[in-house]
Amino acid sequence: MANLDVTMERQGAKAQAEDKSLGRFFNMPLLISGFLTITALCVAARMYQGTYGWWYGLDSTLPEFDTYWMTLLYAELIIIPIVGVVIAAYLWMTRDRNLAQLAPAAELKRYMTFVTLIFIYAWTFYWAGSFFAEQDASWHQVVVRDTSFTPSHIIVFYFMFPLFIIQGVGVLLYGMTRLPLYAKGVSVPLLVAVVGPFMLLPNVGFNEWGHAFWIMEEYFTVPLHYGFVFFGWSILALGGILVQIVSRLAVLFTQVFGQEEIEENA
């Protein structure tokens, strides 16, 4: 009976040690801060729309429209591209130039960060491509636009779209500069998951051109909006990235935890 208790105690201690060793690879501060930051930005944007949209966003000829909406647009057009360039430059300049010597444990930790970045990217895309995009259609079903820079467009097209685009580019650069699998060649799922949603922004130009020349109902099934649907669905390529990640993690788990178990039992 005593031997059984000792065996169970050792198994419990071993399981606890394994949980601890696995947990050290996760970047929880990045996950929590990224999720909360994106959520706070989106909630703040929606509150801003609710506060100033109906009062100052219905007539683009009013001075208040310039104060509350065009000023916001100009700030987005200046700040977001600068942030994107800074992030891309940082990822490139701090790239790992010796990936061939990357230890399995270090690679596993980077994959956890990679998955976290993808989660934040997908979360931002949800707000842009689902919440604010559906809201845009609802807004223009009620309010007749007198400008392309409506309160709805200024948020979804010129804030949310650039926001997830710079995140997608960041995910792509992180994988290419820090993970051997993505540094060796082009990952088609990763490329599609980044470039496809990126093409939503150029499609905005075609959309506004169409609405300027054709009078139509503001619903997603009109042919003018097919581009948004097609490029939006490209985010499903994240499933292909998941397959690649899981395949590689299976190898890394064996190398990292198998090696540690052998050293522990030696």
Q: Domain of 208: which CATH number? A: 1.20.1050.50
Residue 24 lies in a domain: no
Closest CA to 256 of 111, 118, 113: 111
Q: What is the pLDDT of residue 14?
A: 46
Alpha carbons 156 and 95: distance in angstroms, whole number: 32
Q: What is the pLDDT of residue 219?
A: 63
Alpha carbons 66 and 63: distance in angstroms, whole number: 5
Whether the CB-CB separation of 56 and 64 falls below 8 Å is answered with: yes
Q: What is the pLDDT of residue 220?
A: 66
Residues of the chain with pLDDT below 70 are 1-23, 215-221, 259-266
Alpha carbons 150 and 199: distance in angstroms, whole number: 21
Name, in order, each residue with C-beta under 8 angstroms of 257's C-beta and a sequence gap of 6 or more.
18, 21, 22
Closest CA to 233 of 203, 266, 265, 263: 203
- Per the structure, the count of domains in the chain is 1
Q: What is the pLDDT of residue 21?
A: 55
Q: What is the pLDDT of residue 216?
A: 62
Name, in order, each residue with C-beta under 8 angstroms of 59's C-beta and a sequence gap of 6 or more.
65, 146
Residue 26 DSSP symbol: -
How distant, in Å, are the alpha carbons of 8, 11, 13, 62, 80 from that of 5? Answer: 5, 10, 12, 79, 60
Whether the CB-CB separation of 260 and 215 falls below 8 Å is answered with: no
Residue 170: domain span:
119-266
Residue 85 lies in a domain: no
Alpha carbons 121 and 87: distance in angstroms, whole number: 14
